Amino acid sequence: MNHVTIAASEKAFEQLFKAVRDNFTVAKSDSANFGPFSASYAIQLHLAGGSIQLNNDGTIEIKTVDVVFDVLKVQICFDLPGFCIPSFCIIPDPWNGCLVGFPGFCIGGPVCLPLDLSGLVSEINDIKARLNPKYFVDPGRLPTWSDLDAEFAGKPNQWQIYIDPDWVSVDPIDIPASVGNMVENALRNAINNLFPGWLPGWAKDLIWAFLGPLLGVLKGVLGFLDSFEDFLQDLLGNQFDILGFIETAVADYLASKYPIYQFEDPYPILPQDGLLIPVKIPLRNLTATVNTNEMIVLADVG
C-alpha cells in the first residue's frame, strides 16, 4: 500500500480546473499576402465556462469551454480596381469652350478594411486528457546543492501534476452575419477617403451607382463566392490557422505550463524553527489518476 493517499472529489477537481482555466491567456498577431489581397490579425483570448467529466479509464473530458476573444482585430488590404471619370462640360460657353466643367478624376489603388471583432466567443468543444505527474528540477539549481540549499535559494524541486491532453478540439470561429454590414461600412469609408475633397455630392452618388453593391465589389476583389462571414471564417480558421494555434496553445499550457497541483520535494512537514532547519520528507513513486468519482494521488515516503 502507498504511504500517502490524497483524493479530491469531482467537485473539488472542478475547482482546481477553474483555477487553471482562469489563468490562461494568450495573444498572437500575424500577417500574410494571399495574392489579390493581404491580411493581418491580432488576437488575445481567455477561457471561460466548461464542464468536466472524470472517467474510469483515467481520462478527463472537458467540454464546451468558451474561447473569449478579448481582442480580435482583422485588417484586409487590397487594390481597389481603378477607374476614371473623364472630364466633361456641364455648362458650355456658346462662343467658345465651357463655362462650367467637371474636371474628371480617377480613383482606385490600395484600400484597407479594419474590422474589430473583439468580444467574439468561440468554443473548445472537447478536451480529452489524462493526469501526468512530472518531476521538476529547477534549471537554476546548482549540482552541489542539497535539497535544503535549493529551498533556501528559492529553487526547490517540485512534483507537478498536469492535465495532459490527448487532443483539443476548437470549433470554427462563429463569425456573425452582421460582419457583412461592418465590412460594407468599412469599404464605404475607405472609398470615400479616395474621393477628392472638391467632389460634389451628386458626383459621389453617381460613382456609388456605378460601383453597385459593395459586397459585390469585395467578392470580385477577394474572390469569395458566398458570404463575407464564411470568407472571414476561412481566412482566420484555415488560412491563418488560428484554430490550430489555439488548440496548440491550450494543449501546451495544460500539459506543461500550469500544473493542476504542485508541491515541493522534499516536502516540508516542520517549518524552520529559529536556527533549526525545516524538516522535509522526500515523496517518491508519485502517481495521479482519476476515476468517475475523484482524482487520486498516491506517493511513498522515500
Partner 1 sequence: MAFTDHCDLYAAVHEEGANRLIQHLMLQRPSMFNYATADVAANKELWCEQVKFTDDVPKYGNPIFTVLPPLPVIGVDSPPVGLSYCVQLQKFELDFHPNNIFGLPPELDPLKEQHFALHFLVCGALACPDDRVLEQIPVLPPETNKERPEKVPPVHVPGKLQCFCLRVFVVGHFERAFILSKETLLGKVDGVEIVDIKPGELENSIECYIRTAVTMTLRQKLAIPLATFFVSFPLFGMGTVILTPTTNPPIPNNPAIEEDQLKAFITMTVI
| Residue numbers 248-277 binding partner 1 by CB under 8 A | 260-263, 267-270, 275-277
Q: Which residues 6+ apart lie within 8 Å of 274 measured at CB?
A: none
Task: List for the chain the helix, strand, coil content (%; round to 5).
Answer: 25, 45, 25
Closest CA to 122 of 173, 72, 71: 173
Shortest Å, Cβ 182 to partner 1: 38
State which residue, 28 or 280, has the beta carbon closest to partner 1. 280
- Pick the stretch among 31-39, 64-72, 220-228, 288-296 that binds partner 1 (CB under 8 A): 288-296
Closest CA to 235 of 38, 79, 25, 70: 38
Q: Does 19 bind partner 1 (CB under 8 A)?
A: yes
Supply angle C-alpha 262, 44, 221, rounded to 5: 150
Shortest Å, Cβ 61 to partner 1: 18
Q: Does 16 bind partner 1 (CB under 8 A)?
A: yes
Q: Does 6 bind partner 1 (CB under 8 A)?
A: yes
Question: Grid coordinates in use for 76?
Answer: 484586409
State which residue, 75 or 158, has the beta carbon closest to partner 1. 158
Which bin fits 58, alpha (ψ -120 to 50), beta or left (φ > 0)? Answer: left
Q: Does 296 bind partner 1 (CB under 8 A)?
A: yes
Q: How far apart are CA 230 and CA 245, in angstroms?
A: 19
| Residue numbers 96-155 binding partner 1 by CB under 8 A | 146, 148
Eight-class DSSP state of 173: P
State which residue, 91 or 275, has the beta carbon closest to partner 1. 275
Shortest Å, Cβ 148 to partner 1: 5
Residue with cell 479509464: 57
- Pick the stretch among 6-14, 88-96, 175-183, 226-234 that binds partner 1 (CB under 8 A): 6-14
Which residues lie near partner 1 (CB under 8 A)?
1-9, 11-12, 15-16, 18-19, 146, 148, 260-263, 267-270, 275-277, 279-283, 291, 293-294, 296-297, 300-302
